Structures are given as C-alpha cells and as structure tokens.
A and B are shown apart, each in its own frame.
Chain A
C-alpha cells in the first residue's frame, strides 16, 4: 500500500472523433427542417470552445451520412452491373425492405414474430390470384396485398397479446407451414404445383428478364426499399415509436403515465403486416409468378439469419445482414448446400460474439473497452487521491482537479505529523490548548465535508451520562449511524474517540 508509485504512463482520453464545423460566430444559425415532420436533416450540436471561445458545431449522429453514401453507391453502380449481379441487387432490395419492416415488428413493437414470410406470401398469393382469376389490373394489386396483409396481421396479433416472448415466436414458426399446407389444398387457386404464373406486372411482358426490364425492376425495388426505410423512420422515431421505447424500458411506469403500449404494439404490428402484404403483391409482380417456396422453412430461416446477423431492432442492421446473406447465398451459388452452411456459421459466430448483431458491434466494443478501462482505473485508484489523468478529461470543472491535487498533498503532509505523541497530547486535552502540529490536524478535520464527520450521542440520566460515537451521513434527511457499540464515560473520552476515528480515516485515505 505504501510502495512508491512507479511513473507508469497510461493512455488518456476516450473521446470519439467528431466532425466539427467552425462557423462565423456572429451569424445566426439557420437550420433547415424536413417538411411535414419538422425534423432536421442532420443533428448538429452547437457550442463554444471553452478556451478560445470560438463557435463550434459538432455532428452528433453520423449515421444519416452513411446511409446516404451506401444507398447512393448502390444506385450509382447499378447501371454498370452485369445481369446476374443486377438480379442479386434486386433480391437484396426486396429482402432488405422485408427485413426493415420485420425489424419494426421485432425491434419497435417487441413482438418476436416469425410469421413475416407467411404474411408476405399471403399478400402475394392474394394479389396474384386477384390479377389472374379476377382480372384486377396491376396497380390495384397493391391495395389487395395491403388488405390481405392487414387481415393476416389482425389474425396473428390476436394471440400475441396473451402469449408472450419465445412462446409466440415458436407458435409463429408453424404459421408458414400452415399457410403452405392450406394453399396447396385449394386446388382452384393453383392448378399446377400450387404456383400462380403469368401475373401481370409493371414490367412490360417483352422486357421480362431483359436488360431494360431488369433495370426497371431494380429501380422499383430500390424505391420499395426507400419506402420501407421511410415507414420505419416514421413509425420508429415518431410518437408511436417513442411510446414503444418507453414501454420497452418500463412497462408499468409507461402505463402509469398514460401510454397504452399494448394498443401501440398492435398498431405497429398491423401497420407492418399491411406493408408486408404490399411487398408480397410487389413480389408477385416482380417475378410474374408466385410459388409455395415462399412459405418454406428454409426461406424463413434465411431471412431470420439476415436479421440476426445485422442485429435485431435496427434498420441498418437489417440492411447489412441482408447484404451479407444475399451475397453469400446468390453470389456463391456454385458452392451448393455449402453456402447455407457458411451462412449458418456466420450466424453462429455473430451470435456467440456479439450481443445484438453486427450493427451494434462497435458500441459493444466501446462498452467493453470502457468497462475494462474503468476496472483497471478502479484497481489503481487510491481512495481520496488525485484525479486520474483519464478521469480529468471527463471533468468539466477543472478547478476540482486542482483542488483534489491540493487536498492530496495536504493530507500527505498531515499524515507525517501524526505520531503517538500527538495522539497522546489530544487524549490529555481534547479541547486544547494544542501544539502547532495538532492544531493543523484539527483545522483540517474541521474543514472536512459533512459526510466525513462524526457526532457524539449523549444518553442516560443526568449525572450518569454515557456517550457513543455516530457517523453523520452527510445527506439531508438521512440519520446518523452508530459506528460501534462502545460507550464512553466522559465527554472527553468521546472527543478523543472521534479524533481517533478521523485520524484513522486520514491515514487510510
């Protein structure tokens, strides 16, 4: 405990790099807002440099820029891709749209539902059947998909209020299987193979699978993805999403402040189901056919793998996961079944190492680094000592640092003054007169904070008082605590006991 502190240099500071602008300080700050929702394009945080007093503007959230770069890059490269790669890009956009909406269900509403592909498939079948058998024109297939999606969502939502968490997840795994079996039963719907072909589409018949058709398909799929992201944003970051976030953090409390989170959850579930139905209709149009494959367990697991790799609950996670899985699944098609094993291996590795998927890996790493750092710091800290260098970067009031350093040095001086003779001097005359050394020590004690101080409790009858020592809590309203069970016969003894306690505290600090 008393070995000299070796001059070890520890790395200091853990501030993240932030993009900073230095605007002209005299100009008023004009911020543009998005139409309708009134949000800003980018979150800038204004402030001053405390030393130079220059105006500063920091970018608090870089994610919108990443989104812009990623999506713009996709659009810019698409026209130069080969036909096969373009098809992969289309698949990516469609699956990413589905996953973004799914993330809304899992992340925002907090319902672990695996019936997503069932909803998409039902929307697709209904829209395709409406087009092929009832002659509904293709633009009207979207409302058909929407209606069927809403209906499916309503049916699925019924048990979700009663059954919670994993139970519901297990139950919904079976839903796709039920859909597959039931649709294959309806002979009138699909004569061969239970698939509906020759669905009308926004892509002209003779462009189908040709270059212009593919480009048109990509453009539409990209728009679909943008719409899905917009829906995610509108639901997740507006009133509904905030209500649900409150509910996720504390259900009882949010209910107490008047948030009907069950209603909000159902509403989000319904909205997402409707959107999935629309995507289903789009899916049937894009490929001009729909088959039972969409309900297969493998397809569901593949989609689930995308969500899981990216991280459940965040839109960027859904998109990143989709990109990884679609690339492995479609681009490495020569590998055969091996590529599914590869995907499964990626899922296992990601799940074992990260808490909430790849999108969260960075913040998880930061949290880990901070934890290790603070543990190390705690192991090095001596109680009441100086401010550690890495702490100093986090303390805004630099005067505190100087004060703590002063206090540490003062205590070191005073510790040297404490000798058995000094204690003996105090025992003889607790109230003085004191020698210079004792007076210095006593002055330091008097100046201390309330939480470091002790009080003397006087009990018993006049003439036979007993005294005991109590520790003050230092917090208003919190009573002092008894330190030990010793009783002292005279007030001077009690004074001396308090002195010993303070000396003890001083030596330990």
Chain B
C-alpha cells in the first residue's frame, strides 16, 4: 500500500469517524439510535452552501489577498455546517427525544421517529432545492503539500486535521466536564441520576447538539470532494451506522478504531483492480457481518474484555 492510499484511507476514516462516533455517543448516553443523522448531514451541507454563499463574499472582500483568506473561508464554512448540524440536533431532540424518552419502548420508537424525520427531510430538500447536485465553494484549491515525504492534498490535510481536533475536543469534554459525568451516570441509572440533580432532558440537549454538529462538520469536510445533494446523507448514515455497529454500539473508542479499519478497507478494496470501487460496500458488509457473528458486541466488547 503506498503512501497516498494511506492518506486517502485516513481521509475517509476521519469523516466516517465523525458520523459513527456521533451515533455511538447518542446510543451510549441517551439510548437512542439516531437515523436522522443522515438528514442532519444533508441539511448541514445545504446550510453551509447557503450561509457560505451569503457570507463568503464579505469575507473575501475583507481579507482580500491576505494569507488568512483560505483559513477564514474554511472556518466560516465549517462553522456554518456545524452550526446548522447542531440546530438539526436540537430539532431532532424536540421531536424524537423529548416526548417519548421516558415512555415504553423508547429505543424502537425513537428509531422509527428519526427514520421518519430522515425521510421527510430528504423529501423536503428535494422539494426545496431540487435534485440537482451542487458544489460547495472550493477552499484550498487543488494544491498539494508534502508531509514526511507523503504528498497530501490541502483538503485532505484539512479534513484529517479538523477531525482530529474536533474528536479530541469532544472526548476531552466528555472525560473532564461535569456533563460527561452526568451522561455516564444517566445511562446507568436514570432514577439515581435524577436524585443527583441530573436532568435527563437537560443533559441530552447538548449531546444531541454536539453529535449534530459533528455530522455537520463531516458534511462540510466531505463536500470538498463530493457534491451536496438531497440524498447525500444516505451513504454516510449507512456507513456511520455500520461502523458504530462494528465498534460495538456505545463504545466511542470502538467506533474510532472501527472507522479507521473501514476507511483502510475501503481504500484497499478500491485499489485492488478486480474488486474496484463498486464492490466496496459488499466487502465492507461482509467484513462487518463476519466480525459481528464472531463478536456480537463488536470491537467495543473486545476492548471491555481486555480491560477486565
């Protein structure tokens, strides 16, 4: 495997990790499988497109010719995507979590409601923007830089870098802040959490917003190489979901490792001539089903066992 393939794999892994960790985090903290993650992804892409279209000319005019221009553009788009994503998370929270979170059968009902939100959102985007694919404004162009002798496209570097920063920030927040502790307490015993002054409804809101923001960021980062379209969310959703499964639903480190594995697998499958791009999904599924049959709790289960 040559160096550029590794970079490609890392690039894919980064985006998948953003989606899968969001899904996994939601499951482990509030016990909901968010099928509307794909909708968040698609809406954030359009959000970045619209906001970028409105704001970027001003930014260009302000920072004309400055070194900082492309960074500023990047930050604006990323912030727009993440912001819209967080907003979507809030809407999903209001619709799918708040009314039923302490009712019977929440896991399945939450899954159904978020699926319906996904369906409605995709159709709404189709209706509003039409089926045409659109491209986000290019930020870094097609330039390359060399890191340790490995050629790196600017957008790849930005994706990998931004993802790493985001993930570290989220994990640190979970580890160090009181909210992170509350989330863990909530999952173990909701009644005990209530007696510790932890409101499930209040603690779930930031988690929803943050996972939504992660999906939004993933949308902006992926849109550097893929177009924005109403159905753009389906593939990242399916990939994110199966990676979260492979990681063992609920385990954040498991999801990160699984994202890396799947990214490498995808890059490798695409590179092997007789398999090719179109067989990528098949190979991934085969791999995941195999892993899950051997280890029903995925990589996360494996991690737990070794820890014990």
What is A's interface to B at a CB cutoff of 8 Å?
112, 158-159, 162-164, 166-167, 169-171, 173-175, 177-178, 181-182, 184-185, 297-298, 301, 304-305, 308, 336-338, 340-341, 343-345, 347-348, 351-352, 355-356
Q: Is B79 an interface residue (CB 8 A)?
A: no
Contacts of A344 in B (CB 8 A): 116-117, 119-120, 123
Determine which of A178, A305, A337 lies in contact with B124 in the assembled complex, contact meaning CB atoms within 8 Å. A337
Contact (Cβ within 8 A) A178 B285:
yes
Contact (Cβ within 8 A) A163 B292:
yes
Stretch touching chain A among B105-113, B170-178, B213-221: B105-113
Interface residues on B, range: 35 or more
A442 to chain B: closest CB distance in Å? Answer: 47
Determine which of B103, B120, B126 lies in contact with A355 in the assembled complex, contact meaning CB atoms within 8 Å. B103
Contact (Cβ within 8 A) A341 B120:
yes
In order of increasing CB-CB distance, the 8 nearest A-B pairs are A344-B120, A347-B116, A340-B123, A337-B123, A337-B127, A344-B116, A341-B120, A344-B119
Chain B: CB-nearest residue to A343: B119
Q: Is B99 an interface residue (CB 8 A)?
A: yes
Determine which of B108, B120, B296 lies in contact with A166 in the assembled complex, contact meaning CB atoms within 8 Å. B108
For the complex, what is the distance from the CA of A344 to the CA of B109, rounded to whole Å? 14
Determine which of A112, A173, A340 lies in contact with B119 in the assembled complex, contact meaning CB atoms within 8 Å. A340
For the complex, what is the distance from the CA of A338 to the CA of B116, rounded to whole Å? 13
A-B contact pairs, 6 of them (CB 8 A): A171-B292, A178-B285, A182-B282, A308-B112, A337-B124, A347-B119
B254 to chain A: closest CB distance in Å? Answer: 13
Contact (Cβ within 8 A) A351 B113:
yes
Contacts of B292 in A (CB 8 A): 159, 162-163, 167, 171
Contact (Cβ within 8 A) A340 B120:
yes
Contact (Cβ within 8 A) B288 A163:
no
Contact (Cβ within 8 A) A185 B278:
yes
Contacts of B279 in A (CB 8 A): 181, 185
Determine which of A163, A304, A348 lies in contact with B293 in the assembled complex, contact meaning CB atoms within 8 Å. A163
B136 to chain A: closest CB distance in Å? Answer: 23
Determine which of A298, A347, A352 lies in contact with B99 in the assembled complex, contact meaning CB atoms within 8 Å. A352
- With A163-B293, A167-B292, A170-B241 as contacts: A351 and B127 at CB distance below 8 Å: no
Contact (Cβ within 8 A) B117 A348:
yes
Contact (Cβ within 8 A) B119 A301:
yes
Contact (Cβ within 8 A) B104 A351:
no
A354 to chain B: closest CB distance in Å? Answer: 9
For the complex, what is the distance from the CA of A170 to the CA of B289, rounded to whole Å? 11
For the complex, what is the distance from the CA of A356 to the CA of B112, rounded to whole Å? 12
For the complex, what is the distance from the CA of A341 to the CA of B120, rounded to whole Å? 5
Contacts of A169 in B (CB 8 A): 111
